[in-house]
Amino acid sequence: MKKSRKNKFSNIAALVLAIAAVLLLVYVASGLVPTEIDNVATETEATTVATTEATVASTTEPTIAATAEATTQAEEPHEATTEEQALEILNSMSLREQVYQLFIVRPEQITGSSEKLTEVGSDFEEGLSEYPVGGIAMFAENIIDREQTIEMISSMQSYSTIGLFIAVDEEGGSVSRIGNNSSMGTTKFPSMKTVGNTGDRDVAYNVGYTIGTEILELGFNLDFAPVADVDSNPDNTVIGNRAFSTEADIAAEMVAAAVEGFNDSGILCTLKHFPGHGDTATDSHLGYTELDKSLYELWETEFVPFVSGINAGADLVMVGHISVPQVTGDDTPASLSATMIDILRNDLGFTGLIITDSMQMEAITDRYSSAEAAVLAIKAGVDIILMPESLEEAADGIIEAVESGEISEERIAESVLKILEVKIEAGIIE
């Protein structure tokens, strides 16, 4: 019985296998199996392609965009900073050219003329090539009318390789080389004492703005104003009503307002006469002048308007030929004193250009040669020397001091770089 059952199951199994084989053949013959496989393959291939495209897109598009942006940035020219422009000019200058950039002189000092110039030509051009100064100061004798002034200034600038400071003393009141000339058609202002007496800072602002605007139209770019002295000594003969007030606080308020006016007009302005000429008994134009005060007393009065003007943005400070023995320990004029220049720089915080008062004043010429005064001024930290008695002697003195090692080339370059930067920012160098 057991054998019979086994045979029965074997027969059934064989039958099942045969049926399965037949069905498989039918499926293969009908193409059902390949079709399903193809579909799977097609779907897999589509998925792979889509994934690949997405991957390429996600990696390639940002890369292309980044590359395009980098290329655009590379194509855009670098805009040089003021310092970079100034350094490029400085590096192209000889020592002689750098030294002469430290001087502002009268136009007659370029040509050697004994007559006051009201026009310039080839002799001025040749002189400027020989003495490539940083600037020219014009006085009433050089100024006839508007047309002549504009033409003269334009000609002087055209002859200069590096743009010139064209300066004038235009304070308002008695010291107005332009305003007191009716042919110039500019505003005539009363004394600064009258302005200060109003107590209105808007009036002082208007003085600075109006003067600046009007002289800028003529071609000037630098004004030796406003006066920051305090008229505290009734015996003083040089300042008087040129100062805004006998009170330091009032003078400070007026000076700051005037500086703001000058700045808004586009003209460079100058605080003068540091450390203060209002409490001296003598005139530095005529000889030795002393300010008999301690440093504490200077901070209480004389320095107050200077600090105010510096904070308002004054471009230059003019240092007077005023000796301050209680501070310096000797009778060296402030314009030649490292002690006084250091106080102006580090204690009052002035970072602009420091210029001397005219070196033709007897407070200087009675005691120093042009070379001695120029060398001492540069060693003290001054940036610009105004009108030495002998331009060539003063410049040669500085050059010789550099060549001997008494003054470093870096010291010269320091001041010249600042001068060039100011000229670039003011549009004097384009």
**Residues marked as catalytic:** 285, 357
Contact 140, 79 (CB under 8 A): no
Closest by CA position to 373, among listed 365, 381, 96: 365
Closest by CA position to 239, among listed 291, 210, 276: 276
Cβ-Cβ contacts under 8 Å for 396 (sequence gap 6 or more):
371
User: Tell me, what amino acid is at 213?
Assistant: T
* Paired residues of 319 in beta bridges: 274, 356
Distances (CA, A) of 177 to 183, 272, 293, 320: 12, 17, 33, 20
For the chain, the first-to-last Cα distance in angstroms comes to 123
SS3 121: coil
Rounded-to-integer distance, Cα 234 and Cα 231, Å: 7
Rounded-to-integer distance, Cα 152 and Cα 387, Å: 19
CB atoms within 10 A of CB 237: 12
Cβ-Cβ contacts under 8 Å for 43 (sequence gap 6 or more):
none
Closest by CA position to 375, among listed 405, 419, 352, 418: 405
Contact 221, 165 (CB under 8 A): yes
Cβ-Cβ contacts under 8 Å for 49 (sequence gap 6 or more):
none
Sheet holding 385-386, edge to edge: 353-356, 316-319, 268-274, 222-223, 165-168, 135-138, 103-105, 385-386
Rounded-to-integer distance, Cα 382 and Cα 97, Å: 17
